[in-house]
Amino acid sequence: MSHLLTVSRAAHLIGATRADMQKLIASGALFSQDGMVTTTDLLKVFPDVQLEDSGAFERTTKIREEAFGRRIRERVLPNQEVLAQRLAAQSEELAEVRRHLAHYHDLIEALQERIEMMRAASPSEQLAALAEFLDAGLAGVLGSEEPADTLEVLDDVLRVMTAHVKVKPSGHEFFVEGNETVLEAALRAGLAPSYGCRNGNCGLCKARIVAGRVQQVNHTDYPLSASERAQGHTLLCSHTAITDLEIEMLEAKLPADIPEQEIVAKVKKITPLAPDILLLHLQTPRSSRLRFLAGQRVTLSVSGSTANFRGDYPIASCPCDDRNLLFHICNNPDDAFARRLFADALKVDESVSLFGPFGDFVLQKDVTNDIAFVVCDSGFAPAKSLIESAVAADVPVALQLIWAATRDNGHYLENQCRAWADALETFSFVTLRASDLPAAGAAAAQRLQAEAGFACREVYVAGPAEFVTAACTALTAAGLPAGQLHFDSF
C-alpha cells in the first residue's frame, strides 16, 4: 500500500536534496500534490533506493560535513533515553493503528452477520452477491502476501533516528538528528533562529511546540512561567525532538534582527592560502558564540604592547557553525590587524576581540531567484559564507560564481569550488584573470551577462572597491535592475 510523504521527508529518505526533488516535480518526472508524494511514485523514480547507497546522500553529506566542520555520522544515533522515547512514541502510533484495525475487523464481521440474518429472513440475489463480495474481500486482505513498502520501512527506521520539524509561520523544515537539540538542528539546516547563550540561561531560544513531543537533554536555569509551560513553550537549546514537531519559532529575517555582540575568541589556526592571503581560524568559547547571517562582517582587534590593531573582515564561514569562524586576510600595509598577522605576531591560543556582526550583504529572505556571485580576489570570502549557507538551507535555486583575480594565486580556493561543482547540480563557477581591478569588474560583469543573463537572478558583487564599482557600473548599464544588485567592497 502506498504511503504519503512530505517532499522534505521523501528527499531525506532517498538521500537527495529538496532542490533535487523540486526539480523532478517541476519537470513532471515525480508527481506531487499539496506538497506530498506517495512512496509508490517515489519508487518509480528511484527503484533501487537504499538508505546508504545514494550517491547524492554521500555527496551532500560530505559537503555539509565540510561546511559545518561536524561529523554528522557520529551523532546520528540518539542516546538511550531519547531512543527509548522515540521507540515508545512509535509504539503508541502502532498500537493506535492496531486498535483501529481491530475495530474495522469487528465491524466487517458484524456486517457479515447482519447480512446473513437478512438473507435468512428474506433471501435475495443482491444480498447473496453482497455477502460473496465481503467474503472475497476479507479473504483477500487476510491472505495477502503483498511485500512491505520498502520506503515505508526505511521511513520508520529514519523516524527513530531523526525527527522532522516544521516551523511556523515561515514554513521552513528541518530534521533533528540523533539527540542533538532542536536549536542545533535548525542552525545546521541553515536557518536563523533566535538564540543567545545556547546553554539554557537567556531564554532567547524560547519557542512554542504546537504539535509533537520534546525531551530535555541539556541543563537549563531559565525559569519558564507556568502559563508559558501550559501554552507549550520550551527552550530549543536544551531540548531534542522525540516525535515529528510543529513549532512556532522566531527567525531573523534581516540584519537588524541580529544583535551586536562582543566576544573574545581564541586563534585556533593560521594557514597560508596564497603567498599574500592567510586563513585565520578563530574559535569562540562554547557559551559565547557569534550569531550572524551569512555574508556579514565583524571587527577583529588585538592589543599590542603600545597599540590596538584592528580591522573589519567578512566572515568566510557558514553561520551554521557559530563557534568556528574563518577569515581570509590579505597582506595589506594599510591594514593594522593584517600587518600584525603577517608579521607573525599573532599566535595560536592568543585572544582576539570580535565585535559585530554588521553589514547587509545577506541572502534575501525566502530566496526564489537564482543567485550569481561576482567576486574578485578575497571577495570570495563572503561569497563562500553565502554559498555554504545556501547549501545548508537547501535553497532550491541555481548558484553561479564568477571569480576574477588580478594576481597569481588569486583563485586561492579553486579546489573548493570544484568540489562544490562536483557535488551539487545547482552550483557552477568560472574563473577569470584580469590585469587590474576595473578591468576585472568589467570582464566579470560581461561574463555574467553572456553566460546567464539577469532575468530572475539576484547578483552579489564583492571585492576591492575599484572592482565593485566597475562591476556594478557595467551590470547596471547592461540592464540589471537595482533591486537585484547587492554589493560589498573592502
Footprint of ligand FES on this chain (CB under 6 A)?
195-198, 200-205, 222, 235, 237
For helices 80-121 and 150-161, the axis angle rounded to 10 degrees is: 140
CB closer to ligand FES out of 203 and 357: 203
CA distance to 7, 71, 242, 412, 465, per residue, from 398 (Å): 19, 27, 35, 23, 27
Residue 337 in grid coordinates:
590587524
Q: State in angstroms the smallest separation of the CB of 187 from ligand FES.
A: 11
CB closer to ligand FES out of 195 and 337: 195
Q: State in angstroms the smallest separation of the CB of 353 from ligand FES.
A: 22
Q: State in angstroms the smallest separation of the CB of 235 from ligand FES.
A: 5
Q: State in angstroms the smallest separation of the CB of 220 from ligand FES.
A: 6
Whether the link from the prior residue into 357 is cis, omega within 30° of 0, is yes
Strand 214-216 and strand 427-433: pairing? Answer: unpaired
Contact 32, 6 (CB under 8 A): no
CB closer to ligand FES out of 166 and 291: 291
Q: Which residues contact 403 (CB under 8 A, 6 or more apart)?
A: 373, 375, 376, 380, 383, 411, 414, 417, 429, 430, 431, 432
CB closer to ligand FES out of 9 and 198: 198
CB closer to ligand FES out of 216 and 416: 216
Beta bridge partners of 5: 37
Rounded-to-integer distance, Cα 88 and Cα 166, Å: 22
CB closer to ligand FES out of 194 and 484: 194
Rounded-to-integer distance, Cα 308 and Cα 351, Å: 13
Q: State in angstroms the smallest separation of the CB of 75 from ligand FES.
A: 19
What does 328-368 look like in DSSP terms, one character per residue?
EEE--TT-HHHHHHHTT---TT-EEEEEEEE----PPSS--
Residue 105 in grid coordinates:
475487523
CB closer to ligand FES out of 219 and 347: 219
Q: State in angstroms the smallest separation of the CB of 212 from ligand FES.
A: 19
Q: State in angstroms the smallest separation of the CB of 291 from ligand FES.
A: 9
Q: State in angstroms the smallest separation of the CB of 202 from ligand FES.
A: 3
Check residue 200 and report its DSSP letter.
S
Residue 413 in grid coordinates:
580556493
Ranges assigned E (strand) in 7-145: 36-38
CB closer to ligand FES out of 197 and 452: 197
From 21, 97, 50, 60, select the one nearest 189 (Cα to Cα). Answer: 60
Return left, alpha or beta for 35; rule: phi > 0 is left, psi -120 to 50 is alpha, else beta.
Answer: left
Q: State in angstroms the smallest separation of the CB of 262 from ligand FES.
A: 17
Q: How many CB atoms lie within 10 A of CB 408?
A: 10
CB closer to ligand FES out of 234 and 317: 234
Collapse the DSSP code of 204 into the 3-class scheme (helix H, G, I; strand E, B; otherwise coil) and give the result: coil
